[in-house]
Amino acid sequence: MRRAGVVRLRDLPLPELTRIAGELSAVGVERLLRTAVSRIGGGSLQTAAEYSLGLAQGTRDWPASDRRRRAAQVYGVSVERFRKHHELMVLGQITEQIIVLAGRPHTAQEPGAPDTARPLAPVHRSLHLRIHGRPEPATVRIHVHSADLLRDVDVVLSPSNTYFALPAPYKSSVSATLRRAGARLDPAGGLVEDHIHDELAHWVARSGTGGRAALPGTVAVTSAGALAAQGVRRIYHVAVAQPRPGTNDYDVQPADVTRGVARAFAVLAEESPRFDPPLTSVCLPLLGAGRGGLTPLESFGALWPAVEAELARRHHWEIHFVVRAQARADLIERLLAPLAAPTTHDRGTA
């Protein structure tokens, strides 16, 4: 499959992948592969996996040699070194995630044995929460996939450094993923317009912050570029990461995450009436939980107070979270469990 790429999936005999996916179509197998890669947890490993299989945007029809070359660049090694070492590791990790999704040990199934595969882990979860000061339960949705797969969410928050300098589009962070997905490409995958990068540069120029850091918590607004075709209308770039001088590292303070999310909601309330229909839905990643150094628990603990306050104040917001790893979705669900609204059955017996 690595050699053929996703564009030729329908021509390949892939009985095990088809069985695990639970669908006979190439679309089902591709969905399985995307889910497995999304569970790797980000970083260079996931980026290399996306390029290796042709899952990165614009690479579906790339020759296997071009995909391998780009994946090698992710690790900064030669193509030959990547082929002999890193590629085996990448494909092995994808395989391990597929095995987990299949719900069975790493052994071949005996002919005629019953199908023991379990359904794929959910990529969407809905939680109904009781919020103090809110008369009806609030619905919070968790998306377990890459941010570029979001659909029909008005606003997506994107973590940024205080200089609003976007990372290179081939990287694996949320901001790089959104930049890549918002760009317009030619049929061969070449960049035509870097919408989000260019608009953010114009925002920096207009705001007068060019060349100096903005205050942590500042929010810059751009369109969603090509993501508009998926129903995403705005990107709110939230400055939470402060570059550490003389290094490639960042510092993120939880208070800045809280402040940035609160500011994003203020901008949303200001912008919403100017759109038809109004902006009502917003999706948040775990800000600062990548290179910013915060743990997922610290990030969620910093952003949730601002979200909860908004849910109590304005009842019409639709709240979404997006994470790549099932473990992070599980964490969010556990942390919000104390706020779970009683089920219909519980209310009937109370």
The residue to which tokens 């919000």 are assigned: 336
What local confidence, expressed as pLDDT, does residue 121 receive? 59
Provide the mean pLDDT of the chain. Answer: 86
- Cβ atoms of 127 and 333 within 8 Å: the answer is yes
* 301-348: pLDDT as tens digits: 999 999 999 999 877 899 999 998 888 898 999 999 999 887 544 433
3-state class percentages of the chain: helix first, strand second, coil last, to nearest 5: 45, 15, 40
As a whole number of Å, the end-to-end CA separation of the chain is 55
Q: Please determine, for residue 202, whether its predicted confidence score (pLDDT) is greater than 60.
A: yes
Quickly list H helices, 153-250: 174-182, 195-207
Q: Please determine, for residue 299, whether its predicted confidence score (pLDDT) is greater than 70.
A: yes
* 88-117: pLDDT as tens digits: 888 988 988 888 888 754 443 444 444 444
